[in-house]
A and B are shown apart, each in its own frame.
Chain A
Amino acid sequence: MIGAEVTFDVALPKVVWGWLVSTNMWAKSIATGTFFLGLYFIVKHPKQDAFFRKWLPILGIIFIGITLLVTILDLHHMFRFWKIFVFAHFTSAVTLGAWVVSAFVIVLLLAFWSWVTGNKKLLDRIMIPGFILAFFSTIYTAGIMGEATAREFWVFPAEMISMLLSAIIAGSAAYLAIGALYGSLQENIKRELGWILFGAAGLEAAMIIGELFFAKFHSEYAYKTVEILAFGEVAPFFWAGLFLTFIIPMVLVGIANESRKYQYAVLGALSALVGLWFIKHAWLIAPQCLPLS
């Protein structure tokens, strides 16, 4: 006998984690990415650090603020969010993430104070703990995905690396965009930011394409999820994300750095920032489109 089909089941909720969670991941990438790259440029180019000492805390606070806001808005009991600190359950990556991000907010506030008061030593002192907190703030979502046993598609080992690369893409793109807006970035910094965006976009594109098209899927669920992602209802987000986040920025940044016309890099940066939201949204929604029965 062949052909088994579910012919009766109840209507179950489909997308439970929606655009608010996509926005959480997107905004967090920008906040932590600008922190990573800000530290890198402050250490590597101490004579050109004024831009990064200013924008690292400002961008960080704005985007980590958005992250926290959408996280709380997504709770069905948003006024109970404080319970995560009082009744913390540390086997949960959600709890660990809440604690780590809260500590990261303190670091960002100190970085902001360092810029306001001109006390460079303060930021220098919190660089290492800040880096560690930014690192774990970036990857805790991979931990949540890893614990989401029901959605096998999210449980893949390279998710952590993918999130770090997303942060680098977002951070470099945000600095390029802000630099263009305020015209305060030196050419060598623009070029370096461009190459960082180029490299991170290339690596993450390779990782995603490799994962989706060449990896072995261990279940029908994961296989069907890839179909939904690439050809199903979230395909417009997925393909738009692939082009906007990886391909267009790589081409534009390549042209910009080769021809020294950096306005192309800014366009590439804006494309990457928009595309990153699309691809994160597609990634989040596709596995939820399958019934688990």
Chain B
Amino acid sequence: MRLGFLVDLSRCMGCMACAVSCKAENNVPLHSWRLRVKYIDQGEFPDVKRHYVPLRCNHCDNAPCERICPVSALHYLPNGIVNVDHDRCIGCASCMMACPYNAIYLDPLTNSADKCTYCAHRIEVGMMPACVVACPTHANIFGDLDDPESEISKYLKNHRDVMVRKPELNTHPKHFYVRGSDVALDPFAAERPEGYTLFTEVKFLDHIGGH
């Protein structure tokens, strides 16, 4: 079994139900996110378009976070999930430096690294991840990549525009996007107007975890 995720970006309407359900299901603290939805605006009025891209851990087959973790707190489960052992984590933040998808955070309450686990606790008892259940348009498709009859496998087979984020890094993500675009997955690489606008100045958090 190799569990994977696929997002049909043509179905996503940016409602954030997945992000909220993830927060609620996993008790994700304030200022931390396991799943977030990014908005990308493209074009100039009146020829404009908005893309919504849900971002979560890609559960890479060749996960840089697993490789760099000095104590194996990040480890593979037999079903392909990259899981976190909070009790083992020493809080060195190497995984945060290694993850090219910004999918890992240091939980300010536990001081341990944390991230999306594809709701491993729900999968264990035969339930779907919370974000899949909450999505009103069934944009999130989850299943076994090794099972040719699973919905995700059929989706991957039937769509020629399957994409992953940052494929050049050879992380082999198990998180796919269909009906998306380069602009949506890597807006930084797109031609863009000069300067910041009211909504595009990047804000950062100064405080994380301990210290």
Contacts and interface: CB of A to CB of B under 8 A. Distances in A.
B88 interface: yes
Interface in B192-211: 192-193, 197, 199-200, 202-211
Contacts of B44: 1-3
Nearest to B75: A89
A144 B205 CA distance: 24
A150 interface: yes
A6 B47 contact: no
A4 interface: yes
Interface stretch (B76-84, B91-99, B122-130): B91-99
B1 interface: no
Contacts of A291: 102, 202, 204
B15 interface: no
A220 B96 contact: no
Interface of A is mostly: loop
Interface residues of B, number: 67
Nearest to A82: B90
A24 B93 CA distance: 15
B105 interface: yes
A258 interface: no
A89 to B, nearest CB: 4
A81 B206 CA distance: 25
Interface in A1-42: 1-14, 16-17
A5 B41 contact: yes
Contact of A149 (B42, B70, B98, B211): B98
A11 B98 CA distance: 19
A76 B91 CA distance: 4
B112 A76 contact: yes
A261 B191 CA distance: 56
B136 interface: no
A93 B38 contact: no
B164 interface: no
A7 B204 contact: no
Interface of A: 1-14, 16-17, 74-78, 80-81, 83-84, 87-89, 91-95, 98, 144, 147-151, 218-221, 224, 291-293
23 contacts: A1-B43, A3-B192, A4-B183, A5-B193, A5-B197, A8-B39, A14-B204, A76-B90, A76-B106, A77-B111, A87-B71, A88-B71, A89-B69, A94-B68, A147-B68, A148-B64, A148-B97, A149-B98, A150-B97, A224-B188, A291-B204, A292-B101, A293-B55
Given A6-B202, A8-B38, A89-B72, 17 more contacts: A1-B48, A1-B49, A3-B44, A3-B191, A7-B200, A11-B205, A12-B204, A13-B106, A13-B208, A83-B71, A89-B71, A91-B68, A92-B67, A94-B70, A95-B71, A144-B68, A292-B102
